[in-house]
A and B are shown apart, each in its own frame.
Chain A
Amino acid sequence: MQRTPFILRNPSVLALIAVLAVFTAAVTAASAAYGTGLLPTSMIKVLGKTLCLALAAVAMDLVWGYLGILSLGQMAFFALGGYMIGQWLMYARTESIVAASMAANPIPPTPAELQEGVAGQIFGVVGSTDLPWAWTFAHSLPAQLALVVLVPGLLALVFGWLAFRSRVNGVYLSILTQAMTLALALWLFQNDSGFRGNNGLSGLQNIPGLEDVGQARLSVWFLWASALALAVGYALAAWLMGGKFGSVTRAIRDDETRVRFLGYPVEGFKLAVFTIAAMITAIAGALYYPQAGIINPAELAPVASIYLAVWVAIGGRGRLYGAVIGAVVVSLLSSWFTGGRAPDLNFAGLRMAWVDWWQVALGLTFVLVTLFAPKGIAGLFDILNRKAKS
């Protein structure tokens, strides 16, 4: 029997690639660096960041929509990915600056002096001049790129192993995931954690070695990279969930006891999906923060992960395109409404500023969607399909 090719079994992969291609081409044509300059660089960065958030939402959908674990700590992996790439960005850039200033010295600096100088520059703000152990590989881009997936992957693996092995489920597991991200945030907030406490890592928009390129072009490059990562991540997720592995994953979501009696090691499957999702999220984060320019422990606040869950719920969980739609629509709307550009509403002399009311509106939407449209925005496609058939 002839098997239907992957792309035909998953038409949404092709649709997403097409939409992303058109979108990136249009944005590139409207950029200042490569086109008309209709879109300011800051807007291109917002769009690039949105694509990264969409990738994080796809991973969230794997964990929540397909595996059934409402993880409220996904942004911990996202931020860790950002911290890992941020270490190299900050170190390499500081190193070139320090080296340049030391070049004027009559005696060239030794590597140890150079490192000391870099450490003093980076950690002076938290009153330290030593390079913490966590920065051992910060000078090496390949090492930090590997750590982008390894550190969050290992965290997910250890956390998941402990939690799944004890068969913690449902709301208790959600609380545990939230505790994980909160604990990590509190640790990072400390000045002696080795990650510059609440200052976080900054200047990440400056890519070492690409100083001459300029932000206008860099922003477009990052948009391309984010679009590519989203396409690859989406295809990977669709492939994972398309076969028997996806079948078992969804079965665990619906009745994990029954899956055990079929002989499947449920914990192993949970661990695999949770860890893969953490790694995808970390890659999204590693692309996001160079566009944001700064990362600090506030990014790991539980509320960030809750937002991610809200996007996936509003977009429609349990299908990957729902997660993408939710993340893009809700995060762009959020930045518009909280950006102060949305016109205020007037009710009989009562002024209502969106900046203050957006959170309330979003929360209300979340409740309404959960109650009345559990399939979210993606549920509209079902209605269209049914209409097309009849």
Chain B
Amino acid sequence: MSALLEVRGISKTFDGFKAINDLSFSIGQAELRAVIGPNGAGKTTFMDIVTGKTTPDEGEVLWGPESRSLLKMNEAQIARAGVGRKFQRPTVFEDQSVADNLTMALRADRNPFAVLRWRPSHDSEGRVAELAAEVGLSDQLPRKAGELSHGQKQWLEIGMLLAQEPQLLLVDEPAAGMTLAERELTTTLLCRLAETRAVVVVEHDMDFVRRLNCRVTVLHQGSVLAEGSLDHVTRNPEVIEVYLGR
């Protein structure tokens, strides 16, 4: 299977601190992957580089079957190319309704003039209703997103990501602040999503990673320390020393 995203030998230094050090990573078209690592291992910087927020000092980030370089693209272009990102803190537009939040995220032309001409249609309204149902917010559509509970905001953000229909989904600590039941649902959803697209989950919580039951990449000091099944990496003595042993 050809890789959807391939990261080759990237490095990034912030004021002398090597956040990413010769990191290579690749993920297939439909795959679930967990990325774990202690604080400062470079998880967030890695996501920032893939989504265009940060430019690496060296290395390559290649995307899709044509291996286009993402480094020459800005955040919005990368998002339009099919990379979706879920932030740790739920970031929804609190001043606007759940329906408006979802509508904004729907796959459509993003050009300002196209947006100006855009009108809701049967299709778009049906799609919003469908997405709301999928994340359990059907009866919250007219409410302001700011009035939702923390968990509901997380779900709304996931709904917005689904609306974007990304080929690669980067998810930062999805389980943070969720109840046990909500975690169950999240796990199921992430596994189902990974059947049709690539999903990368950055997570601290080992129990949650175990539930995902997928390949795990362990980052340490900005590079890959180990990769494989969770059982495989947790038996790795280096991993135990830097991460699990503490």
Q: Which residues of A contact B (CB under 8 A)?
A: 1, 3, 240, 243-245, 247-248, 250-251, 254-255, 257-258, 260-266, 268-269, 271-272
Known contacts A3-B120, A243-B118; A265 and B100 CB within 8 A of each other: no
Nearest neighbor of B80 in chain A, beta-carbon distance: A263
Known contacts A258-B91, A260-B75, A262-B160; A243 and B119 CB within 8 A of each other: yes
Stretch binding the partner chain, chosen from B108-116, B224-232, B233-241 = B108-116
B96 within 8 A of A: yes
* Pairwise interchain contact B79-A263, C-beta atoms closer than 8 A: yes
Given A257-B53, A263-B164, A271-B112, 15 further pairs, Cβ under 8 A: A3-B119, A244-B103, A247-B103, A247-B104, A251-B93, A258-B87, A258-B93, A261-B79, A262-B79, A262-B104, A263-B77, A263-B110, A264-B110, A265-B112, A268-B112
Nearest neighbor of B86 in chain A, beta-carbon distance: A261
* Pairwise interchain contact A263-B116, C-beta atoms closer than 8 A: no
Contact partners of B51 in chain A: CB under 8 A: 261
* Pairwise interchain contact A265-B118, C-beta atoms closer than 8 A: no
A251 vs B164: C-alpha distance in the bound complex, in angstroms? 16
| Closest beta carbon of chain B to A272's beta carbon, Å | 5
The total number of A-B Cβ pairs within 8 Å is 77
Task: Choose among A1, A240, A247, A272 the residue that contacts B125 (Cβ–Cβ < 8 A).
Answer: A1
Chain A interface main SS type:
helix
Task: Choose among A1, A255, A265 the residue that contacts B93 (Cβ–Cβ < 8 A).
Answer: A255
* Pairwise interchain contact B111-A265, C-beta atoms closer than 8 A: yes
B205 within 8 A of A: no
Contact partners of B116 in chain A: CB under 8 A: 240, 243, 245, 272
A206 vs B122: C-alpha distance in the bound complex, in angstroms? 55
Contact partners of A245 in chain B: CB under 8 A: 112, 115-116, 118
| Closest beta carbon of chain B to A170's beta carbon, Å | 18
* Pairwise interchain contact B96-A247, C-beta atoms closer than 8 A: yes
* Pairwise interchain contact A261-B110, C-beta atoms closer than 8 A: no
B147 within 8 A of A: no
* Pairwise interchain contact B119-A265, C-beta atoms closer than 8 A: no
* Pairwise interchain contact A262-B105, C-beta atoms closer than 8 A: yes
B76 within 8 A of A: yes
Contact partners of A261 in chain B: CB under 8 A: 51, 75-76, 79, 84-85
Contact partners of A250 in chain B: CB under 8 A: 93, 95-96
